[in-house]
Amino acid sequence: MKIIRKSKMPNGTDIQIEDWRLDYPFIDTLQIAVYPKAKNTSKYGWVESNKCFRLTLVNFKNDEDVEDTFKKLEAGKIKLETLEQHFENGHRDKFYLGLDNTEEIEQDQEGEEI
């Protein structure tokens, strides 16, 4: 993995652009790693409330989209919470950020308990 650029969001949260393509050829674009403070603690304690955790933003259309999103985060023009479609760990990342009340998804799409 190669770190392309490091910076901070206006609230002091560390962010960086990463290139994982040499290690994992199936990855198509750059990624953004963000280190916000968690609002909730994970079930097994890997993420703890009020401590920084790694949240990876993935599934961008191209590297230019990554760069644009990074610049907007850096300038405070967008909030991390608005990028949930890019959260690598989806629902769990939302829980750690305090955007959801439960860490686990309790029902699948057909309404059956998991």
| Domain annotation covers residue 113 | no
Per-residue model confidence (pLDDT) at position 111: 53
| Domain annotation covers residue 61 | yes
Name which residue leads in pLDDT, 36 or 101.
Answer: 36
| pLDDT surpasses 70 at 5 | yes
* pTM of the predicted model as reported, rounded to 2 decimal places: 0.87
| Domain annotation covers residue 110 | no
| pLDDT surpasses 70 at 63 | yes
Secondary structure (H, E, C), the chain: CEEEEEEECCCCCEEEEEECCCCCCCCCCCEEEEECEECCCCCCCCCCECCECCEEECCCCCHHHHHHHHHHHHHCCCCHHHHHHHECCHHHHHHHCCCCCCCCCCECCCCCEC
In degrees and rounded to multiples of 5, residue 95 shows phi and psi of -65, -45
Domain count of the fold of the chain: 1
Res. 103 pLDDT band, cuts 50 70 90: confident
Averaged pLDDT for residues 72-84: 97
Per-residue model confidence (pLDDT) at position 60: 98
